[in-house]
Amino acid sequence: MVYDVAIIGAGVTGAMTARELSRYELSVCVIEKESDVAMGASKANSGIVHAGFDAKSGTLKARFNVEGSLMMEKITKELGVKYKRNGSMVLAFREEERDVLLELYERGIRNGVGGLEIINGERIRELEENVSDKALYALHAKTGAIVCPYELTIAAMGHAMDNGVELFLESRVLDISCDNGAFEVETTKGTIKARYIINAAGLYADKISRMVGDDSFEITPRKGEYLLLDKELCGLVGHTIFKVPTKMGKGVLVSPTVDGNILLGPTSEDIYDKEDTQTTRVGIEKIINSAAECVKNIPFGSVITSFTGLRATTKNGDFLITAPKPNFLNLAGIDSPGLTAAPAIAVHVSNMLKDMGLELVEKKDYTSTRKIYQVEKSRYNKMVCRCEKVSEGKIIEAIHTNPKAITVDAIKRRTRSGMGRCQGGFCMPSVVSILARELGIDVCEVRKSGGDSRIVVGKKE
Amino acid sequence: MQTKDLVIIGGGPAGMAAAVSAYGKGIRDLLIIERDESLGGILQQCIHNGFGLHMFKEELTGPEYAWRYEKMILDLGIPFKLNSMVVDISKDKVITYVNEEEGEVKIKAKAIILAMGCRERSRGALNIPGTRPAGIYTAGTAQKFINMMGLMVGRQVVILGSGDIGLIMARRMTLEGASVKAVCEIMPYSSGLARNIVQCLDDFNIPLKLGHTVTKIHGKDRLEGVTISKVDENRRPIPGTEEYTECDTLLLSVGLIPENELTKGMGIELDGSTRGAVVDQNRETSLEGVFSCGNVLHVHDLVDYVSEEAYIAGEAAARYIKGERVKNNNISVTASDNVSYVVPQRITSDKEKVKIYFRTKNELDNVQIIVSDCENVVYKAKRRKTKPGEMEYVTMAEDVLNNIKGNEISLKVIGE
């Protein structure tokens, strides 16, 4: 068959676009090289719905950030994912940094951001008792919010699939050719034909674009390392706390997550290797030092895990949304505030496709909510993960609800099983058994994540 | 709402012994709530021997030791719920648990014994840099895979941390045909029992690398290797000492943490050093009628000591329920020089002798143990050697307790 649209990449941009297109009478597929959705930057970022004062006025970032920020609350409600408008603060530690805050404030007003104010030290500590005494001023953005980035991506893709979108996992795109007005996408799992292609390949968007003869841009991975603290520290800060930004980004933040942990990070370092998601000792130390400048009394002994995200950046720093070839769209360089912007980009994409001649007719049988797999009620009373209190019912649900979890890590991202303080020490053997049973495979075939990441290597003789 | 005289949270060695002991003191309206599918807790996966030398004067395997108590529970007819997870305990002792058959159930208890045990520290808590492949497990998780499920977690193994579970697993993996390349211990000494180092490492020629740690994880899908570095006296890796070791499995045995989430939820005072509740000689916590024993209170070296502590808690809970518990004193016990913690942290009665358990911070020889009140040394004892990995105790007789001045005593250790 020939799909109307093939989207390459199942990150938040690809998933939101797929969901937007699933409203219309179109055949849509999403091609993803990993074993799950949200495996790149969408899995490992700060989870912030930015207010929109950072991006330079007139850029795509500024436009889609503000638009996306306004759409986010409604979308999260529709998808049934957590959203919290916790507000954010940008701290100034020196008198001269107050000018930077003013600049951000004015830029925010120009970009159309509501609810901004500059507050003094006294007011800062009224709102946040643990913020450093050295913070003199802050830009307080009431519309700043938080979401869980992979929860949002999984839900968006699941909703798209409930409305007919197909997802091909572990299908790396090898080449793209154009034949009689349709593209042929050659993947590691076969060839997929489509009339329109949307390149949402994150770090590899440059490589994909080159396959159709466009070498006009390059993607540089910008490495960001994070530390996640135990839920026992819930309440350390309520707002998302930033320092004044630098050229390399918004710096290390201290933020609550929607799940009640505290997140510290990211570092920011341009690197060459697009697979280098290692955490480093230097990075971890940098986070600790930087976070401690902003917030007092952080017990770093309560770190439960660390992780790294690679943000796809372009040279000029703005999102790159172009059509280098007819019927081929690039959504590239979607780094921060990409998470916030994704819903707005998705709407923009459907308008661009319409302008390119794709007919958009609304589906009559479109379902506005996700279809959750029904599990026997009693299974929800059988606890598997004791730290996060995840039941067997929730795990079975994750295995059979779109997009279906096929690995231990995929279950973890959907249910939080293994994400708590013991990091899977107790529940992993049970999760492995449930996965094997529900997928009808041998326990030895159960994988942690993609590739040959098997959990156990064989049966005892 | 259902009511019970005594509810015991956890059916591991501590919970079972506490139940048996409370029953022995006349408590009949009691219940054990266990989250796993059988009683016995972690003992069920500890199929090696070495358990019970103190309690039963013979060498048992973990399941055998568990069975001794399970049999007592069955013979006495002490009721227990399996596959039931306690999700909340309120300050007024209402316990909420869930299971498949009953859904959510609430029970109001006169007394509660907390016996939830401990969990292993994970990789995240260590902040080891590198990738996140499959093949990294805590030693206990690997033990469950191998001993309970009959599944091998890997073939070429490095073990980080020389805690007892790590040592036991070094032998276990070797016996199952894996090659254990090294056990790395960041400290200059092992925290495991001396007998385990001999029987689990030396007997199998497995090198114990003291003063070494894993500084990097390699491999994308499955673990491919680790970098091992020497550390300095401040436990910082020394640049230039990195050595790459190929392996598909890294087991972590880097410490146990008492599982006190329920305890915290009840607002019970915790000790920052033990990470368990602050208790008196009866193992009663800061919340009246709530007791704590076993590894949820502080991590023990031997299950025998867990059982012993559980007897104290069980008997005290029985006395509390019957209104016979005496509190006529309030002396706080603190850890001083070279001592990392003491249990109990309070003495609330001078009517009977009290054993104070403690651990030293370092390995010491020719040790003097000194307990003092605000004016004088009230008790002195000697040991040839102490090790952080081996718990010590001193017994304070009634007359010693009666002569304490003020309301605080401190325990310190001097050695070479």
Digit-coded pLDDT (tens) for A370-414: 999 999 999 999 999 988 899 999 999 999 999 999 999 999 999
Count how many pairs of residues, chain A against chain B, have C-beta atoms within 8 Å: 128
Radius of gyration of chain A (CA): 22
pLDDT at A181: 82
Nearest CA in chain B to A442: B151
pLDDT at B193: 86
Q: Rounded to whole angstroms, what are the CA distances from B149 to A275, A310, B75, B153?
A: 34, 37, 29, 11
pLDDT at A186: 98
Identify whether residues B159 and B233 lie together within a single domain: yes
Is there a contact between A423 and B123 if contact means CB atoms under 8 Å apart? yes
**Most confident residue range from A246-255, B240-249, B394-403:** B240-249
Average of per-residue pLDDT across B133-146: 95
Identify whether residues B242 and B263 lie together within a single domain: no
Chain A residues whose CB is inside 8 A of the B35 CB are 383, 386
Cα–Cα distance measured from residue B356 to residue B342, given in angstroms and rounded to the nearest whole number: 7
Residue in A304, A307, A453 nearest the CB of B222: A453
Q: Which of B254, B283, B305 is the last residue of a domain?
A: B254
Identify whether residues B142 and B107 lie together within a single domain: no
Is there a contact between B124 and A306 if contact means CB atoms under 8 Å apart? yes
Average of per-residue pLDDT across B121-146: 87
Identify whether residues B116 and B260 lie together within a single domain: yes
pLDDT at A422: 81
pLDDT at A424: 84
Q: Which domain holds residue B146?
A: 122-254
Identify whether residues B174 and B244 lie together within a single domain: yes
Q: Which of B325, B354, B374 is the last residue of a domain?
A: B325
Cα–Cα distance measured from residue A195 to residue A358, given in angstroms and rounded to the nearest whole number: 9
pLDDT for residue A224 is more than 80: yes
The CA dihedral of A193, A199, A203, A207, to the nearest 10 degrees, is 60
Query: Among residues A50, A140, A159, A239, which one is catalytic?
Result: A50
- The answer to whether A120 and A75 are in contact (CB under 8 A) is no
User: Which DSSP helix (H) or strand (E) runs through B389?
Assistant: none
Residue in B101, B141, B151 nearest the CB of A425: B141
SS3 label, residue A379: helix
Mutation target for B interface from A378, A387, A423: give the one with most B CBs within 10 A. A423
Is there a contact between B222 and A281 if contact means CB atoms under 8 Å apart? no
Residue in A281, A423, A460 nearest the CB of B146: A460
Tell me which residue of B65, B87, B78 sits closest to B13, measured CA to CA.
B65
- Within 13 Å and on the Cβ side, how many CA atoms surround B241? 15
> For A279-293, b where at least 16 C-beta lie within 10 A, e where not — what string?
bbeebbebbbebbbb
Average of per-residue pLDDT across B277-292: 97
Chain A residues whose CB is inside 8 A of the B221 CB are 449-453
Q: In the 8-state DSSP scheme, what is residue A177?
A: E
| Number of other CB atoms surrounding residue A235 within 10 Å | 12
Give the gap in angstroms from C-alpha B270 to the nearest C-alpha of chain A.
Answer: 13
Helices (H), A356-391: none
Q: For residue range A79-124, list pLDDT tens digits in order.
A: 999 999 999 999 999 999 999 999 999 999 999 999 999 999 999 9
Taking the CA atoms of A263, A266, A267 and A271 in sequence, report the sign of the dihedral they define.
Answer: positive
Cα–Cα distance measured from residue B387 to residue B365, given in angstroms and rounded to the nearest whole number: 9
Is there a contact between A281 and B100 if contact means CB atoms under 8 Å apart? no
Backbone angles phi, psi at A275, to 5 degrees: -110, 5
Chain B residues whose CB is inside 8 A of the A433 CB are 149
Cα–Cα distance measured from residue B161 to residue B142, given in angstroms and rounded to the nearest whole number: 14
Identify whether residues B275 and B168 lie together within a single domain: no
> In this complex, is the C-beta atom of B106 within 8 Å of any C-beta atom belonging to chain A?
no
| Number of other CB atoms surrounding residue A392 within 10 Å | 22
Give the gap in angstroms from C-alpha A303 to the nearest C-alpha of chain B.
Answer: 6
Chain A residues whose CB is inside 8 A of the B265 CB are none
| Beta carbons within 8 Å of A355's beta carbon, 6+ residues apart | none
Would you state the structure tokens that stand for residue B343, as one six-digit string?
A: 């249990």
CATH code, domain with B379: 2.60.40
Domains of chain A: 1-81+147-218+314-371 (3.50.50.60), 88-142+220-310 (3.30.9.10), 377-445 (1.10.10.1100)
| Beta carbons within 8 Å of A84's beta carbon, 6+ residues apart | A145, A146, A147, A256, A258
Q: Is A50 tagged catalytic?
A: yes
Is there a contact between B220 and A451 if contact means CB atoms under 8 Å apart? yes
The 8 Å CB, 24+ separation contacts for A104-109 are A104/A53, A104/A54, A104/A139, A104/A244, A104/A245, A105/A53, A105/A139, A107/A53, A107/A54, A107/A56, A107/A57, A108/A51, A108/A52, A108/A53, A108/A139, A108/A141
- The answer to whether A11 and A42 are in contact (CB under 8 A) is yes
The CA-based angle A107-A112-A115, given to 5 degrees, is: 90
Q: Which amino acid is at B112?
A: I
Identify whether residues B207 and B237 lie together within a single domain: yes
Chain B residues whose CB is inside 8 A of the A303 CB are 124-125, 127
- The answer to whether A160 and A13 are in contact (CB under 8 A) is no
Q: Rounded to whole angstroms, what are the CA distances from B299 to B255, B275, B358, B388?
A: 9, 9, 11, 12
Q: For residue range B63-104, list pLDDT tens digits in order.
A: 999 999 999 999 999 999 999 999 999 999 999 999 999 999
Cα–Cα distance measured from residue A384 to residue A393, given in angstroms and rounded to the nearest whole number: 9
Is there a contact between B141 and A426 if contact means CB atoms under 8 Å apart? yes
What does pLDDT average to over chain A? 94
Residue in A280, A433, A454 nearest the CB of B134: A454
Identify whether residues B139 and B149 lie together within a single domain: yes
Is there a contact between B152 and A458 if contact means CB atoms under 8 Å apart? yes
> In this complex, is the C-beta atom of B380 within 8 Å of any C-beta atom belonging to chain A?
no
Is there a contact between B129 and A451 if contact means CB atoms under 8 Å apart? no
Q: ipTM value of the model?
A: 0.90
> In this complex, is the C-beta atom of B125 within 8 Å of any C-beta atom belonging to chain A?
yes
Lowest mean pLDDT among A157-161, A420-424, A426-430, B12-16: A420-424
Average of per-residue pLDDT across B206-233: 95
Nearest CA in chain A to B42: A426
Would you state the structure tokens that stand for residue A359, as one six-digit string?
A: 């007919």
Beta bridge partners of A131: A295
> In this complex, is the C-beta atom of B34 within 8 Å of any C-beta atom belonging to chain A?
no
Q: Which amino acid is at A47?
A: G
Chain B residues whose CB is inside 8 A of the A451 CB are 220-222
Is there a contact between B99 and A382 if contact means CB atoms under 8 Å apart? yes
Give the gap in angstroms from C-alpha A401 to the nearest C-alpha of chain B.
Answer: 22
Mutation target for A interface from B9, B138, B151: give the one with most A CBs within 10 A. B151
Identify whether residues B17 and B139 lie together within a single domain: no
pLDDT for residue B125 is more than 70: no
pLDDT for residue A247 is more than 90: no
The CA-based angle B211-B123-B340, given to 5 degrees, is: 55
Give the gap in angstroms from C-alpha B43 to the nearest C-alpha of chain A.
Answer: 14
Identify whether residues B231 and B293 lie together within a single domain: no
| End-to-end Cα spacing for chain B | 59
E strand residue ranges, B308-353: 331-335, 339-343, 346-347
Identify whether residues B240 and B186 lie together within a single domain: yes
Identify whether residues B392 and B311 lie together within a single domain: no
- The answer to whether B161 and B253 are in contact (CB under 8 A) is yes
| Beta carbons within 8 Å of B140's beta carbon, 6+ residues apart | A425, B42, B45, B120, B165
Tell me which residue of A62, A45, A44 sits closest to A53, measured CA to CA.
A62
**How confident is residue A149, by pLDDT bands cut at 50, 70 and 90?**
very high
pLDDT for residue A281 is more than 90: no
Pairing outcome for strands B49-51 and A182-187: unpaired
Chain A residues whose CB is inside 8 A of the B155 CB are 457
Q: A12-21 and A149-162 are packed helices; what angle lies between their axes, rounded to 10 degrees? A: 30
pLDDT for residue B328 is more than 90: no
User: Which DSSP helix (H) or strand (E) runs through B386?
Assistant: strand B377-386
Beta bridge partners of A416: none
| Beta carbons within 8 Å of B14's beta carbon, 6+ residues apart | B41, B115, B117, B293, B294, B295, B296, B306, B307, B309, B310, B313
Q: Which of B209, B226, B254 is the last residue of a domain?
A: B254
- The answer to whether A89 and A239 are in contact (CB under 8 A) is yes
pLDDT at A319: 97
Give the gap in angstroms from C-alpha A376 to the nearest C-alpha of chain B.
Answer: 10
CATH code, domain with B30: 3.50.50.60
Nearest CA in chain A to B139: A425
